[in-house]
């Protein structure tokens, strides 16, 4: 299995990173996890074909995680895609997404490949060997009251990927490490979005669970140049493999 980092920026747009987007690869087949702004450009720059993506999983609907999805569909169409694409979304977003597509003139009956929009489920299986388990990150808890006032749910998820090779956890944005603690007991790899928690909390979290490989992504610009400080912090907690991840990196597991 390979995990390709297409976009690792935080919610703040910066010139050297795209917004959240990642590819999970298995023998030439791909899942796309999140589709932040710049995902199509990132695919082209990394010479990854949009035709190989079998499904898209969206963790939550902040623009830096989903704004690139309509253009990605256009990129696929203009690249000659004919095979169906499965898109898995938070439940409340499904109907709105269809309305959004219509206003982009992406009409299913006119589109050259089927767009299958699905609601995210607690458990998903791909390629008969990859089991994906959702867990809540509570990232949007702070706006829950306002969201309900406007008829919007506050769904936000992380994903646990399990294969014969081990367990890979991607958190997406989190409210706090305490909020996700009940759902992450063991993992070989942890890719954690770090815009809303501190490196110290991440190190403590990983050390308590004996997670051998940790990558911090989705970091604000001020943390980009703190690799040396992070290495020292990791040593304090006995973590041998903890780094900030950047666009273009590949994790093999």
Residue 134 CA to residue 170 CA, distance in Å, equals 10
pLDDT of 165 reads 85
pLDDT of residue 48: 96
Its pTM surpasses 0.85: yes
pLDDT by position in tens, the chain (length 253): 999 999 999 999 999 999 999 999 998 899 999 999 999 999 999 999 999 999 999 999 999 999 999 999 999 999 999 999 999 999 999 999 999 999 999 998 999 999 999 999 999 999 988 999 999 999 999 999 999 999 999 999 999 999 888 999 999 999 999 999 999 988 999 999 999 999 999 999 999 999 999 999 998 998 888 888 999 999 999 999 999 999 999 999 8
Domain CATH code at residue 185 = 3.60.15.10
Q: What is the pLDDT of residue 27?
A: 86
In whole angstroms, give the CA distance from residue 20 to residue 46. 15
Name the β-bridge partners of 57: 33, 88
- Residue numbers of the domain that contains 151: 2-252
Number of structural domains (the chain) is: 1
Question: What pLDDT is stored for residue 239 in this prediction?
Answer: 96
Task: Please give the pLDDT value at position 185.
Answer: 84
pLDDT at 108: 86
**Distance of alpha carbon 171 from alpha carbon 88, whole angstroms:** 16
Q: Edge-to-edge strands of the sheet including 213-217?
A: 123-126, 130-136, 157-163, 166-170, 189-193, 213-217, 242-244
Q: What is the DSSP string of the chain?
A: -EEEEEE-B-SS-BTTB--SEEEEEETTEEEEEEE-TTHHHHHHHTT--GGGEEEEE-S---HHHHTTHHHHHHHHHHTT--S-EEEEE-GGGHHHHHHHHHHTT--TTTSSS-EEEEE--SEEEETTTEEEEEEE--TTGGGHHHHHHTT-----EEEEEEETTEEEEE--S-S-HHHHGGG-S--SEEEEE-TTS-HHHHHHHHHHTT-SEEEEESB-GGGTT-HHHHHHHHHHTT-SSEEE--TT-EEE-
State the pLDDT at residue 223. Answer: 87
């Amino acid at each position: 299995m390979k995990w390709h980092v297409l976009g690792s920026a935080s919610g703040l747009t910066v010139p050297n990173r795209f917004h959240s987007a990642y590819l999970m690869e298995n023998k030439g087949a791909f899942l796309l996890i999140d589709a932040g702004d710049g995902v199509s450009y990132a695919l082209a720059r990394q010479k990854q074909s949009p035709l190989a993506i079998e499904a898209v999983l969206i963790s939550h609907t902040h623009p830096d995680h989903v704004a690139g999805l309509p253009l990605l569909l256009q990129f696929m169409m203009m690249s000659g895609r004919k095979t169906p694409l499965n898109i898995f979304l938070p439940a409340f977003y499904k109907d709105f997404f269809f309305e959004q597509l219509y206003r982009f003139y992406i009409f299913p009956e006119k589109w050259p490949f089927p767009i299958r929009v699905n609601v995210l489920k607690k458990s998903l299986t791909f390629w008969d060997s990859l089991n994906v388990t959702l867990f809540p990150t509570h990232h949007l808890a702070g706006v829950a009251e306002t969201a309900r006032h406007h008829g919007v749910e506050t769904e936000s998820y992380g994903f646990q990927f399990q294969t014969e090779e081990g367990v890979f956890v991607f958190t997406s944005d989190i409210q706090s490490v305490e909020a996700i603690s009940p759902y992450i007991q063991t993992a070989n790899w942890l890719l954690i979005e770090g815009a809303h928690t501190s490196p110290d909390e991440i190190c403590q979290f990983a050390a308590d669970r004996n997670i051998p490989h940790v990558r911090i992504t989705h970091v604000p610009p001020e943390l980009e140049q703190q690799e040396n400080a992070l290495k020292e912090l990791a040593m304090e907690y006995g973590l041998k493999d903890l780094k900030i991840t950047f666009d273009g990196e590949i994790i093999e597991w």
